[in-house]
Amino acid sequence: GEDVEQSLFLSVREGDSSVINCTYTDSSSTYLYWYKQEPGAGLQLLTYIFSNMDMKQDQRLTVLLNKKDKHLSLRIADTQTGDSAIYFCAELGSGGYQKVTFGTGTKLQVIP
């Protein structure tokens, strides 16, 4: 079945760039997503990329997709303490329904 993997933890200093990585197994993924979960809350969509794109930039966020290696990354420029959260990678597979598979989440800690 589909699998999405992420490292569990990342720590960066305020003002530095953060790069969160993700690998997935479903070669027929159509959309890949990054969700953000703040403490005590549900997930919120941060950004997404269509599978025929290599890169998407949205203000401080840059998403890179290497479809050959099935690797997705999220770069946050000028990381702020408010960026501290858990970030989930997810992919929309080719199942009989709109099946989205989530990774385990990467907890980003921003040190002031």
Q: Is 92 near other proteins (CB under 8 A)?
A: yes
Q: What is the DSSP string of 18-70?
A: EEEEEEE--TT--EEEEEEE-TTS-EEEEEEEETT-SEEEETTEEEEEETTTT
What residues from 30 to 89 belong to the interface with other proteins (CB under 8 A)?
A: 31, 33, 35, 40-45, 48, 50, 88
Please give the size of the binding site for other proteins, defined by CB under 8 A.
23
Binding site for other proteins (CB under 8 A): 4, 8, 31, 33, 35, 40-45, 48, 50, 88, 92, 97-100, 102-105
